[in-house]
Structure 1
C-alpha cells in the first residue's frame, strides 16, 4: 500500500511541477514579445536573416505564385475571383519581397 501511495504522490508532484513550469515559461515569452513590440527597430541579425533567408524565399514565392496564378486564371475567371487570386498569389508575395524595409517583418503578413 505504501508504494502505491508514494507513486501517486510522485505523479501528482510531477504534474504540478510541469504545470508550474508551463505557466512560467509562457510568461517569459510574453515579456520577450512585449520587448520586441517596444523596440520595433530592425536588428543586424534580423537584417541578415531577411537578406539571406526571407528575400530569396520571397522571390521564389513570387515566381511560384505567378505561375500558379497563370495556371489557375481560367478557373478563377470562371469563378469570378481572379482579382483575389492575383492579390494573394502575386501581389502579396511581391510586396513582402520588394516592398518593405530590410529587416522589418512585423505587420507585413496579413492577420489570420
Structure 2
C-alpha cells in the first residue's frame, strides 16, 4: 500500500471514530429523558465508552499537559494581569476534570465542586 492510500485509510477511520461520541450523545439523550432534569441519568453505551477510552481520554490528558505547559509559560504575564486563577482553571483544571473525573462515555462531569 502506498503512502496516499494508507493516509486516506487512517483519516477515514479517524473521522468515523470521531463521530461516535456525537452519535452516542444523541442516543443517550433520547433514551434517558424523564422530563425532569434532576432525575436524568447518563447511561452510556459500550461503544461510547470505548470511543471515550481510546480517543477522548488520551486527547484530554494531552490537553491537560499542554495546558499546564502553556500556563507555566504564561504565568508571568497572567500574574501581571491579575488573572492567574482564571488561567489555571481554564488551561489545567477544566481539561483535567474532564479527563480524570468524568465517567467513561458520559458527556458531563460528575464532579460538581468549583
Decide whether aligned partners of structure 1 residues 36 and 81 sit closer, same or farther in structure 2, where only a CA change above 3 A counts: farther
Structure ranking higher in helix proportion: 1
Bigger RCO of structures 1 and 2 (CA < 8 A, at least 6 apart): 1
Alignment of 1:31-50 (within 5 A): 34-38=29-33, 40-50=42-52
Q: Tell me, in whole angstroms, the C-alpha distance in 2 between the residues paired with 1:97 and 1:52.
A: 12
1:100 Cα offset (Å)? 1.3
- Structure with the greater alpha carbon radius of gyration: 1
- What TM-score do the two structures reach when normalised by structure 2? 0.61
Query: How many correspondences in the alignment?
Result: 77
Unaligned runs of 5+ in 2: 1-25, 34-40, 110-114
Q: Aligned ranges for residues 47-62 of structure 1 at < 5 Å?
A: 47-62=49-64
